[in-house]
């Protein structure tokens, strides 16, 4: 019975000590080293891509400008649909399906 008590006590102690050592080692390896080189610090910074500010129209939209915007959006949607169909076709041929047909609505 004493060997089982020693095993469980040693197991728990090992888990605690191992967790502490692993945590300290992880923190030590994860923190970036301070350096005098500013270029290295610039490379570590993650920058978000700049977004274009929304343009606020100065005059109300007319029927003609709404139609131009609608046609532009339809063109972009058509391009996206073509790209989706191309990828679907490529993935279908990769998966072993030679003829992939999409249902038209």
Q: What is the DSSP string of 9-45?
A: HHHHHHHHHHHHHHHHHHHHHHSPPP-S-HHHHHHH-
Instruction: Kindly state whether residue 101 falls inside one of the protein's structural domains.
Output: yes
- Containing structural domain, residue 11: 1-30
Instruction: Kindly state whether residue 64 falls inside one of the protein's structural domains.
Output: no
Instruction: Kindly state whether residue 20 falls inside one of the protein's structural domains.
Output: yes
**Residue pair 63/49 in contact by the 8 Å Cβ criterion:** no
Predicted local confidence at residue 98, as pLDDT: 55
Is the model's pLDDT at 83 over the cut of 70? yes
Q: Give the HSE-up count for residue 5: Cα atoms under 13 Å, Cβ half-sphere.
A: 2
Instruction: Kindly state whether residue 60 falls inside one of the protein's structural domains.
Output: no
Report d(CA 18, CA 15) in Å as an integer: 5
Query: How many structural domains are present in the chain?
Result: 2
Instruction: Kindly state whether residue 46 falls inside one of the protein's structural domains.
Output: no
Instruction: Kindly state whether residue 84 falls inside one of the protein's structural domains.
Output: yes
Per-residue pLDDT tens for 17-71?
A: 999 999 999 988 887 765 555 555 555 566 777 777 777 767 788 888 889 999 9
Predicted local confidence at residue 100, as pLDDT: 46
Instruction: Kindly state whether residue 105 falls inside one of the protein's structural domains.
Output: yes
């Amino acid at each position: 019975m004493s060997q089982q008590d020693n095993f469980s006590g040693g197991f728990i102690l090992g888990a605690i000590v191992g967790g502490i050592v692993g945590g300290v080692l992880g923190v030590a390896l994860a923190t970036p080293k301070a350096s005098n080189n500013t270029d290295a610090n610039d490379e570590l910074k993650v920058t978000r891509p700049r977004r274009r500010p929304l343009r606020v129209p100065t005059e109300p939209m007319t029927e003609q400008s709404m139609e131009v915007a609608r046609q532009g959006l339809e063109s972009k949607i058509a391009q996206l649909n073509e790209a989706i169909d191309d990828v679907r076709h490529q993935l279908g041929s990769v998966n072993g399906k030679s003829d992939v047909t999409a249902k038209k609505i």
